[in-house]
């Protein structure tokens, strides 16, 4: 299993428009954060998790050449408004790409991207996908992807657990609460990636302290924060974290 962090930033990205803070002006490339997404290569399948507005730049920068399936955590703008760029992959591959999400997420995707299934468009003009409601684990080749229900403020959304090649990963980029049943789904992980927005509390995201507490409870072999704001300098945040918890950066690849 190979994991690439395509983006590790919050909805504004870092640097944030119109901000002159130290992190936004930083020369450290690890402080440049696109909107959240990961790309997973496992079992000879290429899986994309969320399609943020930065998707075109992400796939060109980090060498994404194929997408066999897309998984959407929830339909907020910073997680889906690069979706139209999936059209390039469906055109190159000459086939429809499955797009998975909760029933509510898929309904929202159909509404926001209502042009996708119109026959008047050419094959290369719009994403050719199969929107698929997901209530249980699905298999993409030999890869099993399991939905992990979590709270995002008052919304019920998904994170995902990915099992393949004898390894396991879970990805929850937006989260303010994890139900007990979902903790059971997060047992025995090799890698856990979890929302840790900023030092201060937030109504719809874990703070860094809350993220660390939940990462320690989950107890994966390697743990990462994501969805970071400009309130956190990469090096300073890493130095403040307990052993075993890491700050990723855009382009970081784990094997």
Identify the bridge partners of residue 157 per DSSP, sorted by sequence position. Answer: 150
pLDDT for the residue 4:
98
Identify the bridge partners of residue 226 per DSSP, sorted by sequence position. Answer: 195
Range 44-51 average pLDDT: 97
Residue 119: pLDDT over 70: no
CB 35 within 8 A of CB 78: yes
Run of H or E residues at 32: none
Which DSSP letter does residue 33 get?
B
Give the number of residues written for the chain: 255
CA distance 15 to 31: 8
CB 170 within 8 A of CB 192: yes
Identify the bridge partners of residue 97 per DSSP, sorted by sequence position. Answer: 129
CA nearest to 166, candidates 42, 28, 55, 254: 42
Residue range 200-243, pLDDT digits in tens: 999 999 999 999 999 999 999 999 999 999 999 999 999 999 99
Residue range 58-106, pLDDT digits in tens: 999 999 999 999 999 999 999 999 999 999 999 999 999 999 999 999 9
Give the three-state DSSP class for 117.
Answer: coil
pLDDT for the residue 243:
94
Run of H or E residues at 161: strand 155-164
Measured CA distances, 86 to 59, 130, 133 (Å): 10, 12, 18
Measured CA distances, 131 to 77, 102, 140, 202 (Å): 18, 10, 15, 32
Domain residues of the chain, as ranges? 2-248
Which DSSP letter does residue 194 get?
E
CA distance 81 to 197: 20
CA nearest to 248, candidates 191, 164, 201, 209: 191
pTM over 0.85: yes
Residue range 142-152, pLDDT digits in tens: 999 999 999 99
pLDDT for the residue 189:
98
CA distance 232 to 217: 23
Residue 124: pLDDT over 80: no
Tell me which CATH code domain 2-248 carries. Answer: 3.60.15.10
């Amino acid at each position: 299993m190979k994991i690439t962090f395509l983006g590790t930033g919050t909805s504004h990205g870092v640097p944030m428009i119109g901000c002159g803070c130290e992190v936004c002006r930083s020369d450290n490339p690890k402080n440049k954060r696109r909107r959240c997404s990961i790309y997973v290569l496992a079992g000879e399948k290429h899986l994309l998790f969320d399609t943020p507005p930065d998707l075109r730049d992400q796939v060109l920068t980090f060498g994404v050449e194929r997408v066999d399936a897309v998984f959407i955590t929830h339909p907020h703008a910073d997680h889906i408004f690069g979706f139209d760029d999936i059209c390039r992959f469906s055109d190159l591959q000459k086939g429809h790409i499955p797009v998975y999400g909760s029933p509510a997420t898929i309904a929202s995707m159909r509404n926001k991207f209502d042009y996708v299934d119109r026959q008047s468009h050419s094959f290369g003009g719009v994403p050719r996908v199969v929107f698929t409601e997901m209530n249980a684990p699905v298999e993409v080749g030999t890869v099993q992807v399991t939905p992990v229900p979590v709270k995002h403020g008052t919304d019920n959304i998904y994170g995902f657990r990915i099992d393949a090649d004898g390894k396991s990963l879970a990805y929850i980029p937006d989260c303010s609460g994890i139900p007990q049943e979902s903790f059971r789904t997060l047992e025995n992980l090799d890698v856990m990636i979890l929302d840790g927005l900023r030092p201060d509390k937030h109504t719809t995201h874990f703070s860094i302290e809350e993220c660390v507490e939940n990462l320690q409870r989950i107890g994966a072999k390697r743990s990462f924060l994501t969805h970071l704001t400009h309130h956190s300098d990469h090096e300073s945040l890493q130095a403040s974290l307990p052993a075993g918890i890491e700050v990723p950066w855009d382009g970081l690849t784990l094997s």
